[in-house]
Amino acid sequence: MDHFSAKVLAWYRDHGRHDLPWQIPDPYARWLAEVMLQQTTVSAVVPYYHRFLSAFPSVQALAQASLDEVLASWSGLGYYARARNLHAAARLLMERHAGVFPRTADEWAALPGIGPSTAAAIVAFAFDVQAAILDANVRRVLSRYHGVAGRDAKTERLLWGHARAHTPADQVAAYTQAIMDLGALVCRKTPDCSACPLADGCSFDGEEAPPRRPPKPERAVYMAVIVEPERGILLVRRPPRGIWGGLWSLPESAALASLPAAVQALGIEGDMGEPHPPLWHVFTHFRLSITPVRVGRVSRGHGVAEGGDAMWYKGGTPGPGMPAPVRRLVNQFLEAS
Ligand code: SF4
């Protein structure tokens, strides 16, 4: 074990996180947690982790569930491709591995939605197998410590090389959590170098300028809230790919003027109300304004086909999988109707 990893491990004993709910030697729990943590913070993940695990307590249960059920349990956590990939990977694990979890990072990385760092974290945590990770937190520590900056292929190779060199042959699970925690708790965007066990050998000189990000572009969408007193609000299933793929949402249009046509295309006629104030939702690369328009007094289309890709929704939990802002809108209108 080199000095770097010995110092990180010593720091971890007193200052790291030891009581996260997924810190158990269970590959299913670790896999689920690592996927949830890919783009989400620990505090946001914890309630979803418990909810998901109680709905699908094993890889068998997850593989047997429908995608709708999986998306419903994921609803609100965002980045739904993760849930679709998790479901597809569960089915592959059952088909290819008879539900027995592989013990190598390469086998995990061959499953949907699992990159090399996530694959390494799963086998390191679940089986204590020596495998190097390079997630955002670890990348920040190694970049600063070794004075390596950039996003090009050469930098990537250098950082992976450092990650491998520092990963010890034993205590791999503890080291992996330790280096993650150091990045999350100490070597943060504004690092607390006075509390860092690596301060002695670190190349960071405090001059690192935070990357300047241009303001996110904005997109707009108009959503029809078709209200039928007896049956609730009409939801339509989104295409399987792309933004919110496979989730239930409201009929929509990119322009207000074309929203009536989108509603009529569903075989529905009703009174289009005035647009309500927009609701904003922030994605990684853009901000989306969602303007709801209530459609009431439905005069035709009460019997719009259910099943398939359309359903009337009257509220209740857990309900179908909906994007968080759409669920918020639907609940607001249900309460008001
Ligand atoms: S000394 Fe500071 S910059 Fe270097 S690894 Fe520690 S917290 Fe990060």
Which residue segments constitute the domains of the chain, with CATH numbers given?
3-201 (1.10.340.30), 218-336 (3.90.79.10)
What's the rounded Cα separation, in Å, for the pair 134 and 99?
A: 27
pLDDT digits (tens, 9 = 90+) for 104-113: 999 999 999 9
- What pLDDT, on the 0 to 100 scale, is given for residue 336? 84
Distance in Å, CA 184 to ligand 1 centroid: 11
Q: Which two tokens stand for residue 241?
A: 């790919």
What's the rounded Cα separation, in Å, for the pair 92 and 97?
A: 8
Q: What are phi and psi of 202, to 5 degrees?
A: -80, 140
Pick from 167, 190, 180: nearest CA to 137 = 180
What's the rounded Cα separation, in Å, for the pair 82 and 89?
A: 10
Whether the pLDDT of residue 22 is over 90: the answer is: yes
Instruction: Determine which residue's CA is closest to atom 1 belonging to ligand 1.
Output: 199
Among 187, 188, 203, 205, the mutation site with the greatest number of ligand 1 atoms within 8 A of its Cβ is: 187
What's the rounded Cα separation, in Å, for the pair 280 and 220?
A: 9
The question of whether 69 is a catalytic residue gets the answer no
pLDDT digits (tens, 9 = 90+) for 177-212: 999 999 999 999 999 999 999 999 899 987 665 555
3-state helix, strand, coil in the chain (%, to 5): 45, 15, 40
- What pLDDT, on the 0 to 100 scale, is given for residue 211? 54
Query: Among 136-145, 248-257, 295-304, 320-329, whose mean pLDDT is lowest?
Result: 295-304
Distance in Å, CA 296 to ligand 1 centroid: 59
Q: Which two tokens stand for residue 242?
A: 């792309």
Q: Which of 34, 69, 228, 252 is catalytic?
A: 34
HSE at residue 125, side-chain half, CA atoms within 13 A, is 27
Does 140 contact ligand 1 (Cβ within 6 A)? Answer: no
Distance in Å, CA 283 to ligand 1 centroid: 30
- What pLDDT, on the 0 to 100 scale, is given for residue 301? 61
Q: How many residues does the chain have?
A: 337
Q: What is the mean pLDDT of residues 281-297?
A: 88
Q: Which two tokens stand for residue 112?
A: 């949907």
Distance in Å, CA 317 to ligand 1 centroid: 45
Does 193 contact ligand 1 (Cβ within 6 A)? Answer: yes
Question: What confidence category does residue 218 fall into, taking pLDDT thresholds of 50, 70 and 90?
Answer: confident
pLDDT digits (tens, 9 = 90+) for 317-332: 767 889 989 999 999 9
